Amino acid sequence: MAEKKNQAPTRKQLKAEAAMGKPKFVLMRGVIGWGLPTLGVYLLLSFLLHMGIYGKSFDEVVVEMFPVMFIIAAFIFAIAGIFMGQYRWKQLQVQLNKKERSKDGKGS
């Protein structure tokens, strides 16, 4: 039988994530893991919409949007990534506490 892809993480996996520490976890899972991909999708959609709606060429859109919009969007998505990483850290701590309690309950 094939394993389910959406299995809950094991206690060992959760501990490995927590061992990374909060700052590194927030950076890796929030800013890099969520903020950068979301920034990429946002910029791609922005470019495509500007090209489609305004009928501009790719070069015109890059010259018009790149310096200001890219910097502002990168800043906003980095800040949002920090919040997302902190939220995921809290979720990780809750999951880890549940696993610890279930382990302690099974041993009794």
Q: Where on the phi/psi map is residue 21: left (φ > 0), alpha (ψ -120 to 50), or beta?
A: left
Determine how many CB atoms are found less than 10 A away from the CB of residue 81.
23
User: pLDDT, tens digit, for every residue of 8-19?
Assistant: 778 788 888 888
Q: What is the pLDDT of residue 64?
A: 82
Would you give the DSSP letter of residue 55? -
47-78 pLDDT per residue, tens: 888 888 888 888 888 888 878 888 999 999 99
For residue 5, pLDDT over 70 is answered with no
Is residue 107 over pLDDT 50?
no
The yes-or-no verdict on residue 86 having pLDDT over 80 is: yes
> What are the sequence ranges of the domains in the chain?
21-107
Around Cβ 85, how many Cβ atoms within 10 Å? 24
Letter string b/e over residues 16-45, b meaning 16 or more CB atoms within 10 A of that residue's CB: ebeeeeeeebbbebbbebbbeebbeeebee
